[in-house]
Chains A and B, each alone.
Chain A
Amino acid sequence: MFPWLTALIAWPLVGAALVGLSALGRSRTGPASAGVGLARPLALLFSLVEVALLVGAFAAFDTGAAAEHQLGATYAWIPQIGVSYAVAVDGVGLLLVALAVVLVPLVLLAAWKEQGRDEVRLRRFVGLVLLLEAFMVAVFCARDVFLFYVLFEAMLIPAYFLIGGFGQGAGRRKAAVKFLMFSLGGGLIMLAAVIALYFLGVSAGVDPSRAFLVDELVAVDLGTTAERLMFVGFFIAFAIKAPMVPVHSWLPDVAGNATPGTSTLLICVLDKVGTFGMLTLCLPLFPEASRWAAPLVIALAVISVLYGAIMAIMQTDLLRLVGWTSVSHFGFIILGIFTFTPLGTAGSSFMMLNHGLATGALFLVAGFLVSRHPEKSQKIADYSGLRSVTPVLAGTFLVAGLATLSLPGLATFVSEIMVLVGAFGGSPAGSAGWAIAAVPGVVLAAVYVLLTYQKIFTGAPAAGLEALPDLRLRERVVAAPLVVGLLVLGLVPGLALTYVDAPAEQSVALTTVDEPADDATQMGSDQ
């Protein structure tokens, strides 16, 4: 069988090596526009071929068994410490891989006019984007805890350079360092838990040369205290990445200082690693501890929903606002995961995809808007009355905004309802109450989206903005797939739900305490 996942991981790496490394050789002594301008077309070509590979992977994926990890490949990588190169995806993983693969060409296209004309700088930029793509795809496929950790950390390096080196805000370096320190700090705590997991796994009889494989570790009974400690280690790392209150504070800075394209990749795809990790590592590996922590996690999730929304309303910077809305949405996703109901978990999985489409659209359209301002201002107050000047831009922004506030008929509505209904019937104590508490988040979302739209697009055009050009063809090509995706998935959610329903049921079954868990340990000891 063709190794689809390995190909999906390797292809952008090849692209990054080809395009990116060629940039290192030239020093910056010559005039700024040296080179033939091949960087962007080449990168776009690579990312489009990657999309073709993705189609192949979808074709090879058996939707009837979406709960199983398919298209797998396992090779010994560092046998001395039991590390394998193990990749496989279930339905959720495949959807997230798809999100990453689809967003990259759009981001490249959206950034077509950014970063100047300096070929060397451009090659570095697109090289980093492709490198990030490879890591993102790989992390959603990883079925080895060590491999997951390695990618989880390695991803930060291209992201760090994209924020700090190519961002557009004055505080980009600070934002980059803050991002890296938060993520690395969380990652290193996770490392301690990874090492502990290895030892407990080996002492429980797992073959030392396969000691990091998730499938092997799931069967291990860790003991209550160890399990809880390790859950905390993993969860902190994921919560920072997700980002969840109170460890979210790096996100608005990044959103305000990175380019919209970088923010899209970072917040819409890379941060999903946090919630994806909770779903595919925390829950199966530490089922008992997950239930133990669920009440606190749910409370924090709902606080994230409300706090993120309120902070979004108070923002004056458009891109920071979009960043804060994500804090709110990630709260919903986490809420759904920790309700332990098939409906809520499936809703969360679906929402990971939808949030990527909706927020990605919002970031990119906001980026188009900012790039039109004569001073590239990100301040909402600097805009007004643009509906008459740039009607298509206004319309696209409205659709993306409505998707963010979960308007019925759009995909985000389906997933948000699933999460809330799931939470209402969730098994952790008091989750119904928390579900009710989260509902105002939906209303607040309407406030921040509609208020922003009103300020920017209604009224009389601000001075100096009367002649702004509307969305160009390139920009329409960027926005169209996202808008179409949101509409189609809103009207026919079954397209995506076939991929997430079965994994959700399985994950809930794994965390249901009594009989199934016992079965799992039985199977483990039989080996």
Chain B
Amino acid sequence: MIESEFVPPEIDWLALAPLIVVLGAGVVGVLIEAFVPAKARRATQIVLTLAALAGGFAFVAVLWPQIVAQPVQVLGGSLTLTPFALGAQGIIAVLAFLGVLVVADRTATGQDAFAPTASAVPGTSYEDLARRSGLEQTEIYPLLLFAAGGMMLFASTDDLIVMFIALEVLSLPLYVLCATARRRRLLSQEAAAKYFLLGAFASALFIFGVALIYGFAGTVRLLEIAQRLQQGLPLEGMSVLLVAGVLLVVVGLLFKVGAVPFHAWTPDVYTGAPTPITGFMAACTKVAAVAALVQVLYRVSIGVQAVDPEIMRQLQMVIVVVAVLTMAVGTVVGSVQTDVKRLLAYSSIAHAGFLLVGVAGFNAQVQSSTLFYLIAYGIATIGAFGVVTLVRERRVTPGAGEHNGPVGDDGVVLGEATEIAQWAGLGRKAPWLTAAFALFLLSMAGIPLTAGFIAKFGAFTGATTGGLWWLAVLGVLASVVAVAFYLRLLVVMVFQRAQDDPAEPQVKLAEATPGAAPGEAEVSTSGAVSTGATTGAGATATLTTVQVTTAQRIEVTVVRSRGPAAVAIAVCALATVILGVFPSPVLALVEQASKFVP
């Protein structure tokens, strides 16, 4: 062999820095599990995780001017940092940071959303003992870091094999995290199993697609594929390899995006996973998957467009059809949900559809509007799931101290109250929290003066620029349906009286308008009936009926968090408003992201 001498590759370490920081911290986190004493472990992990994500973002910020001026390829294209990819990395780091804040939250009695040991039943003295003796699942923090690192790589690679590896790096931790819920354990494990099976299936399709593309082009690098197509690689008779390969890769990505018809896992997984994980997953995975999808589609399209516009048109048609289906299923099925987490899951599907409307426009501006959409969607999603983690059931027992679980101020705090009917009257119990949640809903619905409106405007503009004005009109119509179901939740929260609310407001109302009282009673009764019905019907609901007995009573409460979740929600709410009213600075930033199209 001539090249027996080892030639070390030239590596731009700075370009790799965001990834190295996040993934490296993940490795350190594993070591912490082994060496740091149990008492200090959780605090160390949280600090390390947040610091790593902040550090990752800081490196992104440092790199930004350099990359905007000149994109770089590192390690032979395994990492291709375009402004778009770097932007996606930055967004993932920020959203993951906010997500980890929600994950790290604990109630006043020190419980979080995760099971301390696999066999501990929530609320028992055994669990409490396990927790006190330090048997906490602090592995979740390194797992989160690995997932975040995988996402950042996923969004910024040009090599399909590296993309596949990144896909697995981000997916495997998420499969595990889905199974760690403290309550509704079976649902959580079922969710993990479903996610794993379907995810593995999607991965298989993806890698099969990569194989076909390699068979056609002799390379797995997207830019090289585009170049070879432009140089006139023979398409006759072979185009089926390319088309089938690209479609399979796209299917694998659409699965991660959660687009119809590859969405079936979304509602179950989002419902079953611990809510903080759901928020993290819903926001960050979508960013990574959409970013990867945009890169694959646009890079391939450069080459295909030059050779055979017909194939290009068909590819666009596929995305259009998926976008329409996704919007339709997301909004229509979403509007009949009775569970807040499932509703948010369908909302996330609908948003995948709106994102694809923009992507289907196939033009450079779409890259920046997509990034903006992902920011707006991500902060609203993390905020909304953060709120869900704080709305709990509470068992009020006379003589509360005797109960076997950890006891808060008054009564035992149980799991999350995710039935929509249970959210009635939240506006009175927790005005700020409700205001924040209403803001997230309005942003998701795309009401002006929130970030969601600017985002939707960008997506529809992108489709119109691409000549798909009718798709934009369909998107607008789907938005109307979506508004209806966000509104339903809003009405319950703000206008309906809680079933466990004492009669005090009734008196006040009677004084203002006596005619209204019978209508009130009617509404709350029907609410109770529907709650009961759903409990019987689905396994999703646990203890959701409101039992007004003398022995004990379950009511809905908002737990006082130790702080981090509240901080995350506040930041998300503030960002939603600021991005809605003064989006210019951020729009200017993401606009730089579309400077280099490939």
Interfacial residues, chain A to chain B (CB-CB below 8 A): 23-28, 32, 76-81, 114-116, 118, 120, 149-151, 153-154, 156-157, 161, 164-165, 168-173, 176-177, 180-181, 184-185, 188-189, 191-192, 195-196, 198-199, 375-377
Contact A80 B431 (CB under 8 A): no
Q: List B residues 440-491 near A (Cβ within 8 Å).
A: 442, 447-449, 453-454, 457-458, 460-461, 464-465, 469, 472-473, 476-477, 479-480, 483-484, 487, 491
Contact A191 B431 (CB under 8 A): no
Closest Cβ of chain A: how far from B471's Cβ, in Å? 11
Of B153-161, B177-185, B287-295, B511-519, which binds chain A?
B511-519
Contact A161 B494 (CB under 8 A): yes
Closest Cβ of chain B: how far from A24's Cβ, in Å? 5
| Chain B contacts for A81, CB-based, 8 A | 457-458, 461, 587
Contact A168 B516 (CB under 8 A): yes
The residue on A at minimum CB distance from B447 is: A153
Contact B464 A199 (CB under 8 A): yes
| Chain A contacts for B508, CB-based, 8 A | 32, 116, 118
**Complex formed: what's the CA distance from A498 to B484 in Å?**
44
Q: Which of B477, B507, B587 contacts A80 (CB 8 A)?
A: B587
**Complex formed: what's the CA distance from A79 to B585 in Å?**
10
Contact B513 A376 (CB under 8 A): yes
| Chain A contacts for B509, CB-based, 8 A | 116
The residue on A at minimum CB distance from B425 is: A28
Asked if B419 is at the interface (CB within 8 A of a chain A CB), the reply is no
Q: Which of B431, B505, B591 contacts A23 (CB 8 A)?
A: B431
Contact A77 B480 (CB under 8 A): no
**Complex formed: what's the CA distance from A78 to B469 in Å?**
23
Contact B516 A170 (CB under 8 A): yes
Contact B512 A149 (CB under 8 A): no
**Complex formed: what's the CA distance from A173 to B484 in Å?**
13
A-B contact pairs, 14 of them (CB 8 A): A25-B432, A28-B429, A28-B505, A81-B457, A116-B511, A157-B442, A165-B494, A168-B513, A169-B516, A180-B487, A195-B461, A199-B465, A376-B514, A377-B515
11 new A-B contacts at CB < 8 Å, known A80-B591, A169-B515, A170-B516: A26-B431, A77-B584, A153-B447, A164-B491, A169-B516, A170-B520, A177-B491, A181-B487, A184-B480, A192-B460, A195-B461
**Complex formed: what's the CA distance from A118 to B508 in Å?**
8
Closest Cβ of chain B: how far from A82's Cβ, in Å? 11
Contact B483 A27 (CB under 8 A): no
- Which 4 A-B residue pairs are closest in the complex by CB-CB distance? A170-B519, A150-B448, A168-B513, A80-B587
Contact A195 B483 (CB under 8 A): no
Contact B431 A24 (CB under 8 A): yes
Of A26, A161, A184, most buried by chain B (CB within 10 Å of CB) is: A184
Contact A173 B512 (CB under 8 A): no
Chain B 122-157: CB-based contact to A (< 8 A → 1; otherwise 0):
000000000000000000000000000000000000
**Complex formed: what's the CA distance from A192 to B456 in Å?**
11
| Chain A contacts for B472, CB-based, 8 A | 192, 195
| Chain A contacts for B457, CB-based, 8 A | 81, 191, 195
The residue on A at minimum CB distance from B475 is: A192
Contact A24 B584 (CB under 8 A): no
Q: Which of A24, A120, A184, A199 contacts B483 (CB 8 A)?
A: A184
Contact A24 B465 (CB under 8 A): no
Q: Which of A120, A185, A375 contacts B480 (CB 8 A)?
A: A185
Contact A80 B504 (CB under 8 A): no
Given A78-B584, A149-B448, A165-B495, verify A28-B519 contact (CB < 8 Å): no
| Chain B contacts for A196, CB-based, 8 A | 464, 469
Asked if B435 is at the interface (CB within 8 A of a chain A CB), the reply is yes
Contact A191 B476 (CB under 8 A): yes
Q: Which of A118, A151, A181, A192 contacts B476 (CB 8 A)?
A: A192
Contact B519 A171 (CB under 8 A): yes
The residue on A at minimum CB distance from B372 is: A80
| Chain A contacts for B479, CB-based, 8 A | 188
Asked if B532 is at the interface (CB within 8 A of a chain A CB), the reply is no
Contact B483 A181 (CB under 8 A): yes
Asked if B77 is at the interface (CB within 8 A of a chain A CB), the reply is no
Q: Which of A114, A149, A195, A377 contacts B460 (CB 8 A)?
A: A195
| Chain B contacts for A77, CB-based, 8 A | 584
| Chain B contacts for A184, CB-based, 8 A | 480, 483
Interfacial residues, chain B to chain A (CB-CB below 8 A): 428-432, 435, 442, 447-449, 453-454, 457-458, 460-461, 464-465, 469, 472-473, 476-477, 479-480, 483-484, 487, 491, 494-496, 504-505, 507-509, 511-516, 518-520, 523, 583-584, 587-588, 591
The residue on B at minimum CB distance from A180 is: B487
| Chain A contacts for B432, CB-based, 8 A | 24-25
| Chain A contacts for B464, CB-based, 8 A | 195-196, 199
Given A118-B508, A157-B447, verify A375-B428 contact (CB < 8 Å): no
**Complex formed: what's the CA distance from A482 to B507 in Å?**
35
**Complex formed: what's the CA distance from A25 to B435 in Å?**
11
Contact B428 A28 (CB under 8 A): yes
| Chain B contacts for A188, CB-based, 8 A | 476-477, 479-480
Contact A154 B431 (CB under 8 A): no
Contact B518 A170 (CB under 8 A): yes
**Complex formed: what's the CA distance from A176 to B487 in Å?**
10
| Chain B contacts for A114, CB-based, 8 A | 512
| Chain B contacts for A189, CB-based, 8 A | 476
**Complex formed: what's the CA distance from A48 to B123 in Å?**
57
The residue on B at minimum CB distance from A173 is: B495
**Complex formed: what's the CA distance from A149 to B476 in Å?**
14
| Chain A contacts for B523, CB-based, 8 A | 173
Of A25, A78, A161, A377, most buried by chain B (CB within 10 Å of CB) is: A78
| Chain A contacts for B587, CB-based, 8 A | 78, 80-81
Contact A116 B512 (CB under 8 A): yes
**Complex formed: what's the CA distance from A66 to B587 in Å?**
38
Contact B448 A153 (CB under 8 A): yes
**Complex formed: what's the CA distance from A184 to B482 in Å?**
11
Given A80-B587, A184-B483, A192-B473, verify A164-B516 contact (CB < 8 Å): no
**Complex formed: what's the CA distance from A450 to B487 in Å?**
41
Contact A154 B447 (CB under 8 A): yes
The residue on A at minimum CB distance from B477 is: A188
Closest Cβ of chain A: how far from B242's Cβ, in Å? 33
Contact B512 A78 (CB under 8 A): no
Contact A27 B514 (CB under 8 A): no
**Complex formed: what's the CA distance from A191 to B583 in Å?**
18
Closest Cβ of chain A: how far from B151's Cβ, in Å? 27
| Chain A contacts for B495, CB-based, 8 A | 164-165, 173, 176
Closest Cβ of chain B: how far from A20's Cβ, in Å? 10
Of B429, B465, B495, B523, most buried by chain A (CB within 10 Å of CB) is: B495
Contact B442 A170 (CB under 8 A): no
| Chain B contacts for A176, CB-based, 8 A | 491, 495
Closest Cβ of chain A: how far from B496's Cβ, in Å? 8
Contact A376 B515 (CB under 8 A): yes
Closest Cβ of chain A: how far from B467's Cβ, in Å? 10
The residue on B at minimum CB distance from A377 is: B515
| Chain A contacts for B460, CB-based, 8 A | 191-192, 195
Q: Which of B430, B507, B516, B583 contacts A78 (CB 8 A)?
A: B583
Closest Cβ of chain B: how far from A76's Cβ, in Å? 8
Q: Which of B473, B494, B504 contacts A32 (CB 8 A)?
A: B504
| Chain A contacts for B504, CB-based, 8 A | 32
| Chain A contacts for B494, CB-based, 8 A | 161, 164-165
Contact A375 B514 (CB under 8 A): yes
Closest Cβ of chain A: how far from B373's Cβ, in Å? 13
**Complex formed: what's the CA distance from A28 to B509 in Å?**
14
Of A23, A81, A114, A149, most buried by chain B (CB within 10 Å of CB) is: A81
Closest Cβ of chain B: how far from A196's Cβ, in Å? 7
The residue on B at minimum CB distance from A187 is: B448
